[in-house]
Structure 1
Amino acid sequence: MGFAVLAVVALGVFGYRVWREPRRLGNAVWLGVAGVLAGLWLVVGLSDDVVIVGFVVVGGVVALVLPAALIANGVLMVRREGRTLGNLLSLLAGLAMVGLGGVTAAVLGFDSSRWLVAAVGSLVFVAGYLAFLFGALLVYSVLYGRIGRDRRADAIIVLGAGLNGSSVPPLLAHRLDRAVQCLQEDAVLVVSGGQGTDEDLSEAEAMARYLRDQGVPDERILVEDKATTTEENLRNSMALLADTPGTVLAVTNNYHVFRTAVLARRLRLPLDVVGAHTAPYFIPSAFLREFVALLAQYRRTNAALIVLLAALPFVLTALTG
């Protein structure tokens, strides 16, 4: 019963925080805490046989199905998108899970020294922390993306993405199409993105051409062609809209929505973010990139917790020695 009460309290805190400000990273953490507590409540309340079966099923998914799916997705990403670090993330994550499982089984299966067991425990603790954060962020990102799903605005910012020479690729086209769906009468569109070294023109100009071809009047399109990062996309675009009253939406792909919203809050920009469709095969690696970027934004807190968790098994081993 105690876990149930704690889960309800955590869920209440989560709901209040979302009501106050849905763009907080801490909202995802509170949702994750509520989920863990609810899971513990179920485990305590179920029979031993059901718990064992549940652990076997979940363990099988985590140990076998998920790594295999990530590795397969990584191979597909490399074939379709090229061999870059970002495209390799799902493959690397799958291999890391296999490696951690193999090392853990090898150490526990033999008569290993207690310090070697502590080292494996350190890896497991850190991996568990990262898995908890990743799961919480994934679930809350999906939830946040649906909060503002049908919103309209007086101004819409479309964040740039890479071009194919001078043409708009499908990933960016989905953002532009979503922006047009959100466009209401007299609203303006800001297309934001500079020119990369491998691009024939700025992303913003290519996006403007795409919108004109879709029938959007030129006078409703504002071009911001200097930005090279998401932060610059938001800052520069909001500067263009300084004299435009009303609400503002930023449009990006669905995997990028929550990190953009968190960044907008940190920059104290009064805007919400909505997501556009992304090809399913692209999402695992893309969201892993977003996860790494969010960890980096809060690097001091995460580094401190990771060091603490990594040291804990060694401290316990020393105290019990």
Structure 2
Amino acid sequence: MLLYAPAIFFLLLAVVGVLRDRRRFSNALYLGLAVTFLAFALLVTLGQVDSVLAEIVLIAVVLAPALATLVLAALLIANGFKMLRKEGRRLANLLSLLCGLGILVVVALLLAATQADSPVLVVIARTVFLLSCYLSFLFLCFIGYAYLYGRLAPRQDVDYIVVLGSGLLGGTRVPPLLASRLERGRALYGRQAATGRPPLLIVSGGQGPDEQLPEAHAMAAYLIDRGFPGERIIREDRSRTTEENLRFSRDLMAAADPHYRCIVVTNNFHAFRTALLARQESLNGQVAGSPTAAYFWPSATIREFVAVLAAHKWINLTVCGLLTLVSVTA
């Protein structure tokens, strides 16, 4: 039982964290550590079983990550080419391709270090491996908890529904990505309105340099054209970033009712990071995600993860520096 104590400890921390505030990245870390220690305990337990079947399962479990890594690299590269074909040649659309190639480079470096008689290459490979393990662990924590966060049902007794903008097509039209958010917001509105207490809906988005009108105005027009009651819409038309979306919408809601409750709507790949930002901006509400095309997911998720890393850059740089120091001095 003592072998499973760390897993139970971190699982309890994750549960307590979710109950206190589900919008914390620490919840993802606690959950990731719980799964890691549980997997370690199961492997040790399995290694103590004296049977051929146990040995086969143990070998399969050890080899599975290596095979999964190569499969993941291939899928990311394939997705990268699809993104370029469908979305155009922009850096954001290259992320899955670059990550897939990066995985292959790391694998090739590790293989070269095992074959070459070079202490320098061994140190480089060991350092890259440690850093890759750290970033992979954080990424798995991120996507695992983001998936769980997206499965938590949003509350149905809110005062406001805030739909975040995402840019206009041709400077005037609502693109499919933004339409998905608006449709989810409209569905949440309809579900609560059916109980006799319709919330107000805030469309949040300012005017970009390549747009002919603020996003909020185009979003409101989209909803009204589809039968949404215009008197239930509030336009927040100053924001240019997600942080400003949340901050300016918070100010509108708090000015009308300091005790407001809300739901923020964005795309599902963006929901968890938006939740982290909502907590940072002291916004009283959770985040709901809307559907996104499957091919868009990998690059978008990687972009969100990089943004979370950048938000905590000093602690991540410190950990990476310590890992590098350990590797070099080992």
TM (norm. structure 1) is 0.94
Structure 2 residue 184 is matched with structure 1 residue 178: yes
Q: What is the distance in 2 between the residues matched to 1:246 and 1:54?
A: 49
What amino acid is the match of 2:292? T
What amino acid is the match of 1:172? L
- In structure 2, the partner of 1:266 is 280
- In structure 1, the partner of 2:95 is 89
Q: How does 1:303-314 map to 2 (within 5 A)?
A: 303-314=317-328
- In structure 2, the partner of 1:225 is 237
Q: What is the distance in 1 between the residues matched to 2:19 and 2:3?
A: 24
The 8 Å contact of residues 152 and 182 in structure 1, kept in 2 or not, is answered as: no
2:109 to 103, 108, 112: 103
- Displacement after TM superposition at 1:152 (Å): 4.8
- Displacement after TM superposition at 1:106 (Å): 0.8
- SS in structure 2 opposite 1:153? coil
Q: What is the distance in 1 between the residues matched to 2:141 and 2:88?
A: 29
Q: How does 1:20-31 map to 2 (within 5 A)?
A: 20-31=20-31
The 8 Å contact of residues 161 and 185 in structure 2, kept in 1 or not, is answered as: yes
- Displacement after TM superposition at 1:268 (Å): 1.5
The 8 Å contact of residues 154 and 286 in structure 2, kept in 1 or not, is answered as: no
The 8 Å contact of residues 148 and 273 in structure 1, kept in 2 or not, is answered as: no
The 8 Å contact of residues 192 and 225 in structure 1, kept in 2 or not, is answered as: yes
- In structure 1, the partner of 2:208 is 196
The 8 Å contact of residues 264 and 286 in structure 2, kept in 1 or not, is answered as: yes
- Displacement after TM superposition at 1:153 (Å): 2.1
The 8 Å contact of residues 131 and 323 in structure 2, kept in 1 or not, is answered as: yes
Which sits farther off after the overlay, 154-163 or 41-50? 41-50
- Displacement after TM superposition at 1:163 (Å): 1.1
2:162 to 152, 157, 165: 157
Q: How does 1:240-279 map to 2 (within 5 A)?
A: 240-241=252-253, 242-244=255-257, 246-279=260-293
Q: Structure 2 stretches of 5 or more lacking a match?
A: 47-53
- Displacement after TM superposition at 1:136 (Å): 0.6
- Give the direction of change, closer, same or farther, for the CA distance of 1:2–1:84 in structure 2 (3 Å limit): farther
1:169 to 175, 191, 202: 175
Q: Percent of counterpart pairs with the same letter?
A: 45
- Displacement after TM superposition at 1:10 (Å): 1.0
Structure 2 residue 156 is matched with structure 1 residue 148: no
What amino acid is the match of 1:232? E
- In structure 2, the partner of 1:19 is 19
Which whole-Å deviations, capped at 9, do the CAs of 1:165-185 have from their partners, x for residues lacking one?
A: 211111111100000111133
Q: What is the distance in 2 between the residues matched to 1:145 and 1:26?
A: 17
Q: What is the distance in 1 between the residues matched to 2:75 and 2:157?
A: 37
Structure 2 residue 306 is matched with structure 1 residue 283: no
Q: What is the distance in 2 between the residues matched to 1:150 and 1:74?
A: 36
Backbone CA RMSD of aligned residues = 1.3
The 8 Å contact of residues 154 and 248 in structure 1, kept in 2 or not, is answered as: yes
Q: Structure 1 stretches of 5 or more lacking a match?
A: 317-321
Q: What is the distance in 2 between the residues matched to 1:87 and 1:150?
A: 34
- Displacement after TM superposition at 1:197 (Å): 2.1
TM (norm. structure 2) is 0.92
